[in-house]
Structure 1
Amino acid sequence: MNDVGIFFALAGGVLSFFSPCVFPLLPAYITHLTGGKIEDAKMQVNRAKLYSRSIGFIIGFSLIFIALGASASFIGKALADYRMIIMQIAGLLIIVFGLQMAGLLKFKFLMKEKRFETEQGTKNIFSSILLGMAFAAGWSPCVGLALSSILLLAGSSETLSQGVFLLGAYSLGMAIPFFIISIVLSYSLSTIRKINKYLPRLAFVNGMIMVFLGFLVLSGQMQKISAWLASFSLFF
């Protein structure tokens, strides 16, 4: 599962960042992290603070996601005797979550969200880490669906390390665009407006990727593809 699963986790992280309920809020996140402000369609921020506190925020949400992945893998390993059943249930749920992300299903209970809010901005990189952990613990439903899908995949993995790698890849998928776009926005906010119009399409793509992943897990093809890739790599 490792190679294929990590690819899906990485892609899920990238597309989760560009979800309609995360990406538009990025300017608010950045100003909150740095204590900056928005003037003349431009973010007025200290770039040294932007770099360090963005990294802190990334470390914070990555710690939570990876811990969740390890927990899911641990539970899945404890239920190893029921692994096939867990994989089938996980596959079905991932398909449902994917259809919800794509907008083809409209289950209201899957769209509930918990947001962490604080009145004061972060004071240093350590408070940025704590803020990242807080946001990860109660992020928006768009991320929740993708994250839940990857956690289900981690729960059906064979080893604890696979679950850690999966959520590490998911975190990396969110971290890279977060850091890059944060820097871009410090020069111009027009990027937000340009990307916003493509968000519904990206949400649909994200959902379809999860549906495809769900079918692979449900049918058992995930393991076959990973085994094929592993044997193919021996020739190189």
Structure 2
Amino acid sequence: MSDVGVIFSLFAGTLSFFSPCVFPLLPAYITHLTGGKMEDNKIMVDRKKVVLRSVGFIIGFSMIFISLGASASFVGKLLMEYRIALMQIAGLLIIIFGLQMAGFLKFKFLMKEKKFEYSNKSKSMFGSVLLGMAFASGWSPCVSLALSSILLLASSTDTLNQGILLLGFYSIGMAIPFLVISLVLVYSLKVIRKINKYLSKLSFINGVVMIALGFLVLTGQMQKISAWLSIYNLFPQ
């Protein structure tokens, strides 16, 4: 499952960053992290500080996400006897999450938001790590649907390392655009307004991909695809 799962995890992490309930708040996150101010249509702060504090924030949310992945994989191993049933349940839930994210379903209980407040501004690298952990502990509804799908996928992996790998790539998918856009905001806030126009379309794309993944897991085709890729990799072109 790792070949297809890793690609999906990376993709899901990137689209989670561009979700309507995360991306528009990025300027607020950056000013909170760095203590900078928004003036002249940009964030007034030293670029080196943006990089260092952003890295701290990324480390923080990655620690939480990867820990969740390890936990999900560990539970899955304990229930290995019911592996097929668990994979079918996971596939069905991923399809439901995908339908919700794409806008085909409107279940209110899936849109409840977990809150974890961290009111103090970050004044150090350690503070940035704590803020990243707080963000991951109180993620918004948009992120939780994609993240829950990755956790379900992690719970059906063969080893603990595979579960950690999936959530590691999910974190990378969020980390790369977070760092890049954070640096861009030092020069101009216009990028936020431009990308905001396409957020609903990105959410729909993420939902469709999740639905497709859910069907692969539900029908057992995920293993067949990964097995084929593994065999193919044994014979380099």
Q: TM-score, normalised by structure 1?
A: 0.99
Distance 1:38 1:85 in 2: 52
Distance 2:114 2:146 in 1: 16
Q: Percent of aligned pairs with the same residue?
A: 71
Distance 2:189 2:45 in 1: 13
Correspondence for 2:13: 13
Matched, 1:214 2:207: no
Q: What amino acid sits opposite 1:199 in the alignment?
A: L
Contact 2:118 2:131 (C-alpha < 8 Å) held by counterparts: no
Q: What amino acid sits opposite 2:208 in the alignment?
A: M
TM-fit CA distance, 1:118? 3.1
Matched, 1:48 2:48: yes
CA deviation digits over 1:67-126, x for unaligned, max 9?
Answer: 000000000000000000000000000000011111110000100112333332111111
What is the correspondence of 1:72-87 to structure 2 with a 5 Å cutoff?
Answer: 72-87=72-87
Distance 2:26 2:117 in 1: 14
CA RMSD of aligned residues (A): 0.7
SS in 2 for 1:161: helix
Q: What amino acid sits opposite 2:83 in the alignment?
A: R
Correspondence for 2:153: 153
Matched, 1:172 2:194: no
* Structure 2: runs of 5+ lacking an equivalent: none
SS in 1 for 2:205: helix
Distance 1:107 1:62 in 2: 28
CA deviation digits over 1:32-90, x for unaligned, max 9?
Answer: 00001111211111212111010000000000000000000000000000000000000
Distance 1:151 1:206 in 2: 16
Distance 2:76 2:59 in 1: 25
Distance 1:19 1:218 in 2: 26
Distance 1:31 1:127 in 2: 13
Distance 1:211 1:21 in 2: 21
CA deviation digits over 1:183-212, x for unaligned, max 9?
Answer: 011100000000000000000000001101
Matched, 1:22 2:6: no
Correspondence for 1:185: 185
Distance 1:205 1:18 in 2: 11
SS in 1 for 2:122: coil
Distance 1:193 1:133 in 2: 27
Q: What amino acid sits opposite 1:40 in the alignment?
A: D
Distance 1:194 1:81 in 2: 50
Correspondence for 2:138: 138
Correspondence for 2:67: 67
SS in 2 for 1:139: coil
SS in 1 for 2:62: helix
Q: What amino acid sits opposite 1:129 in the alignment?
A: V
- Give the aligned length: 236
Matched, 1:196 2:227: no
Correspondence for 2:112: 112
Distance 1:9 1:211 in 2: 14
Q: What amino acid sits opposite 1:159 in the alignment?
A: T
SS in 2 for 1:187: coil
Distance 2:49 2:115 in 1: 24
SS in 1 for 2:115: coil
Correspondence for 2:36: 36
Correspondence for 1:102: 102
Distance 1:149 1:57 in 2: 23
Contact 2:118 2:134 (C-alpha < 8 Å) held by counterparts: no
Q: What amino acid sits opposite 1:128 in the alignment?
A: S
